[in-house]
Chain A
């Protein structure tokens, strides 16, 4: 390709738009009492309502309404005093009713914003992402395309449908157009989805697992020539299944569009599909326009008109915002910006906090999680939290503080826990990793070392303190590394008349 990313952002200005779909973690579906449990056998969580059988009637899940209001309030939205559901009609077998119950012109939450911080060339800068709406709808079923070489829809002979997911409460959070992000557009998109995910998690309304599809992002971007003031044609990229992919998808799409414009080609308004391997996008199906969905008010449901008093009750229950929570922790723990960012980027802040809440020193907790545990996690290509629990790390830190483990021994304990040898206490027991703190045992090892290296011992006696290193090394070797080196040094120097 001719233009590289830097060339594109020098000539064109991007405008972002992000649509995030989040599945709520309610016990039951949006309009019926079927379970929403993830991973059940196909079609074991369906009923006449979510299968769209004749004569069935939907009834709204009250917790879903409450969750929607919580989300709206956390995103600084106004909560509509009167809101209605609508039918979105389309012919596709992922919804057995042939329509999805959604909201159209009367969504429950409107006009909010979310501020995100980006590390720019001029220092940390705040970008405000304005939110157009949050509306309630239902998720679709899952299709399995059979036949054809790729498992994809093209070339498939038939498809198999599992409707367990059909009807699970889904919130769609739509931003307004986000101008003015320039070359930081990919980072702003990622930071927005990250912050949104953290907020949703802190509200406890969703599992927010991108890899399981409970949080999904569609990324819109368009380019316009620098200073033209005109809005370009946008594309919408789907299948963006991780935070990193959000950033890569926008980045890749900006390069593609920039090169098309540079060659005098038109941008087609279309849905594109993100390719995880290459970071590029390919065209998806041509989408029906809003008009084609023939939205109309859902006659089977009555309006939602939340009482102002109830909204204020909910507002009082909102937790501390993740951004404020982070600032408070950073102050309490006196963590430098850079290390705080490292913890946040590694998604270990909650884990470190949990470890500190179990009594561990914040600096130690941070260094074990980001150091040894992360290193082992990288080797195994899993998340650090899959290897150890905050309780285990806190236990190891406590043992070091009590002088029962050295840092070196503690690393062996971590390794043992990670390899499934049991709890820290069990690993210490099985591997015999206790610090040798018995002075008499250390003294006999010291005496043996002196007997083996009489010349070295003589040099220490006559004042050559650095020579003691060889003797200390010998003692550490004899005790299998389980002695506290500082204590060995102290005992040795005293014994050779060099103690203070």
Chain B
């Protein structure tokens, strides 16, 4: 059975705002399916004695003091932006409502 359906791939593409053709969806659905099956094999190996991990190193409580360090200049901050105006990042029309 497929681990991910074509519809689910289309839904993910919509969430990521990536336009995909029908052919691309077919292609990706089958590729993602193979990847997910590979991940499933890892899950088979990881039994209850292997705790889920989110970080490769067994570290915890890595923090920094609450001390201000210099920020980028606005020129530097905006230097990689495709478009800027009024010292702000300029983005195309957003659809949907503001959070």
Chain A contacts to B: CB under 8 angstroms: 26-28, 32-35, 41-48, 51, 53, 59-65, 82, 84, 89-94, 96, 140, 143-145, 153-154, 156-163, 238, 271, 273, 284-286, 288, 292, 294, 297-299, 301-306
Known A41-B87, A96-B89, A159-B90; 15 more pairs at CB < 8 Å: A33-B69, A43-B78, A46-B71, A91-B17, A92-B94, A140-B99, A159-B94, A160-B90, A162-B87, A285-B98, A292-B15, A298-B54, A301-B55, A303-B54, A305-B60
Sample of 14 A–B contacts (CB below 8 Å): A28-B68, A34-B71, A43-B74, A43-B77, A44-B73, A47-B72, A53-B80, A62-B63, A144-B86, A153-B97, A160-B86, A162-B87, A163-B77, A303-B60
Contact B61 A28 (CB under 8 A): no
Number of residues of chain B lying within 8 A (CB) of chain A: 38
- Which of A42, A45, A63, A89 is the one whose CB lies under 8 Å from B66? A63
Residues of B within 8 Å of A143, CB to CB, are 94, 98
Cα of A306 to Cα of B83 in the assembled complex, Å: 43
Contact B97 A284 (CB under 8 A): yes
Contact A294 B15 (CB under 8 A): yes
Interface of A, secondary structure class, is loop
Chain B contacts to A: CB under 8 angstroms: 15-17, 54-55, 57, 59-69, 71-74, 77-78, 80, 85-94, 96-99
Residues of B within 8 Å of A91, CB to CB, are 15-17
Residues of A within 8 Å of B64, CB to CB, are 33, 59-62
Cα of A140 to Cα of B94 in the assembled complex, Å: 16
Q: How many A-B residue pairs lie within 8 Å, measured between CB atoms?
A: 147
A369 to chain B, nearest CB (A): 35
Contact B88 A157 (CB under 8 A): no
Contact A93 B89 (CB under 8 A): yes
Contact A93 B71 (CB under 8 A): no
Residue on B with the closest CB to A24? Answer: B66
Residues of B within 8 Å of A35, CB to CB, are 68, 71
Residue on B with the closest CB to A239? Answer: B98
A39 to chain B, nearest CB (A): 14
Residues of A within 8 Å of B94, CB to CB, are 92-93, 143, 145, 153, 156, 159
Contact B55 A161 (CB under 8 A): no
Given A28-B68, A284-B97: A84 touches B88 (CB 8 Å cut-off) = no
B4 to chain A, nearest CB (A): 13
